């Protein structure tokens, strides 16, 4: 098993970055890659964000003592895939009403979070969160909306984990829910 960090992502000119946490990052990455392949997703990487330890390891993050969330960072073409679409998918593919938990996975590393990279993303994240809280999740959303801060790539063996291990663990709360469209 390769425990080295993954190589840095290539971010082409004009591309944007979105960072979300929705429980076990293997399933989150797998769902985003499947849904948005050839539809504006340029790259995706699992890693750690929101903690207070430099260069955290998977084992340290799983202990719950680093403060990091398991997260997904998406590089996307905003001409083909909107930030709004990324966030709406986020709120459909996991349960944002459980604090520090997704299905059987319990701990702060499994919290629901949107980590914005600029003021426009913050505004959009807060607006979408308010709408889905009211219309889809009936006031139960506990998702954090925070500035992105330091990102740490997860170890290489975590990248594309479910592609490499098709029968690997998938959180049972990761599935696409059907909700009515939100107002623009």
Q: What tokens does 109 get?
A: 């590393």
Strand partners, 46: 72
Q: Is 24 a catalytic residue?
A: yes
DSSP letter assigned to residue 8: P
DSSP secondary structure letters along 12-81: -TT-EEEEEEESSHHHHHHHHHHHHTTTTEEEEEEEEES-SSSS--HHHHHTT-S--EEEEEEEE-TTTS
Q: Residue for token digits 């809280």?
A: 133
Residue whose C-alpha is closest to residue 162's, from 153, 171, 152: 171
Chain length of the chain? 184
Q: 3-class secondary structure for 39-53? A: CCEEEEEEEEECCCC
Marked catalytic residue, from 24, 42, 61, 71: 24
User: Looking at the annotation, which residues are catalytic?
Assistant: 24
């Amino acid at each position: 098993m390769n425990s080295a960090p993954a190589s840095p992502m290539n971010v082409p000119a004009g591309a944007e970055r979105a960072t979300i946490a929705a429980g076990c990052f293997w399933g989150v990455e797998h769902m985003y890659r499947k849904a948005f392949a050839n539809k504006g997703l340029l790259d995706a990487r699992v890693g750690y964000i929101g903690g207070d330890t430099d260069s955290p390891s998977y084992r340290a993050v799983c202990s719950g003592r680093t403060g990091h969330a398991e997260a997904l960072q998406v590089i996307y073409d905003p001409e083909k895939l909107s930030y709004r679409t990324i966030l709406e998918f986020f709120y459909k593919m996991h349960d944002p009403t459980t604090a520090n938990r997704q299905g059987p996975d319990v701990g702060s590393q499994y919290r629901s979070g949107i980590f914005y990279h600029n003021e426009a993303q913050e505004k959009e994240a807060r607006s979408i969160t308010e709408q889905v809280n009211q219309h889809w999740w009936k006031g139960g959303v506990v998702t954090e909306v925070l500035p992105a801060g330091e990102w740490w790539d997860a170890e290489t063996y975590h990248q594309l984990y479910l592609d490499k291990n098709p029968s690997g663990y998938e959180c049972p709360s990761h599935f696409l829910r059907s909700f009515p469209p939100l107002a623009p």
